[in-house]
Amino acid sequence: MMTRARGARSIFARWLAWRRRRRANKALFVSTIALALFVTLVFVWATLSPAPGDPTRYLALYWVWGLCAVGVLLGMAEYKTSPLRKGRERGHLFILLYIGSLLIVTRALNMFLYYHPSYMP
């Protein structure tokens, strides 16, 4: 009898299709995941410790937001080379959907967290 954790792991492994991926596709996938995780962690930290009116942190988070855009490009490249796409399997757009929504949310967070009324004309 298969345990619940082992069953979930099996489903996840099949969804990744890791054995069917080529080396370049694996590298793109891991790079996209790493960038998404990094951007997520930085913006969680920025949300927990905001510093309104700090131009240095604003520019640093703007740079991190730019990394998120690079992640979208890597995610699109991964999508085009994915064996999941070629096999018309479900779930292949999850990372692209996540990092695309992350791009929108982090930009909004950056504007909200670092809004300062003295900057208004």
pLDDT of residue 34: 92
Q: Tell me: the pLDDT tens digits for 55-67? A: 788 888 888 888 8
Distance separating alpha carbons of residues 80 and 34, to the nearest angstrom: 19
pLDDT, mean of residues 78-98? 73
Q: Where are the domains of the chain?
A: 21-119
Question: Which of 26, 29, 66, 60 has its CA nearest to residue 46?
Answer: 60
pLDDT of residue 38: 93
Residue 91: what are its φ and ψ, rounded to 5°?
95, 0
pLDDT, mean of residues 74-89? 76
pLDDT at 121 over 80: no
pLDDT at 15 over 60: yes
